[in-house]
Chain A
């Protein structure tokens, strides 16, 4: 069983919107921070957003603040990323990941396979 499965990627015009989803299984989703990380074609990894276990705290990279919204539904073990006002530079593979913040040290320890977002006119 794959612990994180993303969906919702696709091709959209600049200014458009997409909603990414990530379904979790095999761990206690409601007890964990979650995050989105993206990777533009041929580029490195970029953290996009985090959300606390209960959704009460959210953090974003500056370049998406005000345009993207991270959310979660613990009853459905699902993570979401609502992306509005999309720009060409948002083109990337978007990964859902578990943010494991434990006493011994933090990490992104579980990753989905990624979903591709292409913003093009």
Chain B
């Protein structure tokens, strides 16, 4: 399963709502195997969302995920300065367990 993220880069202001898209080459039964991660420079990735829409414990509620089939989105509402990072989607349904190419979010 190939994952295509868009955009690869976005710049937004504090308080904005941003949406990142992840499109899969195959979508049957993918939903519970779709996760989102946040990675800041020089740090390990951090799990934000699993099963497409379930928020990992401790993750702020301004992060949300949705989607089904081949199309998934990560939304950050009320963007904060600490949200500056690169975001990756991942599928864990079939091997190889692939990641999307990443979306770098910059705060204006």
The B75-97 residues at the A interface (CB cut-off 8 A) are 88, 90, 92, 95-97
- Residue pair B56, A109 in contact (C-beta under 8 Å): yes
The A45-70 residues at the B interface (CB cut-off 8 A) are 45-47, 50, 59, 61-62
- Residue pair B101, A105 in contact (C-beta under 8 Å): no
Interface size for A (C-beta < 8 A) is 24
Quote the shortest CB–CB distance from A50 to chain B (angstroms).
7
- Residue pair A108, B95 in contact (C-beta under 8 Å): no
Interface hit among B11-19, B42-50, B66-74: B42-50
- Residue pair B45, A44 in contact (C-beta under 8 Å): no
List B contacts of A85 (CB < 8 A).
Answer: none
* Residue B99 interfacial (CB < 8 Å): yes
What is the interface residue range for chain B against chain A?
A: 20 to 34
Can you show 26 pairs from A to B with CB atoms below 8 A apart?
A44-B88, A44-B99, A44-B100, A44-B101, A45-B37, A45-B99, A46-B99, A59-B95, A59-B96, A61-B96, A62-B96, A95-B44, A100-B50, A104-B32, A104-B54, A105-B52, A105-B54, A106-B35, A108-B45, A109-B47, A111-B44, A111-B46, A111-B47, A112-B44, A113-B44, A114-B44
Which residues of B come within 8 Å of A, CB atoms?
A: 32-33, 35, 37, 39, 44-47, 50-52, 54, 56, 88, 90, 92, 95-102
Closest 9 CB pairs of A and B: A105-B51, A107-B50, A106-B92, A111-B44, A47-B97, A105-B50, A107-B35, A45-B99, A105-B32
Q: Could you list 19 further interchain pairs (A-B, Cβ under 8 angstroms) beyond the known A46-B99, A47-B99, A59-B95?
A: A35-B97, A37-B45, A44-B101, A44-B102, A45-B37, A45-B88, A47-B90, A47-B96, A47-B97, A50-B97, A59-B96, A95-B44, A104-B51, A105-B32, A105-B50, A105-B52, A107-B50, A109-B56, A111-B44
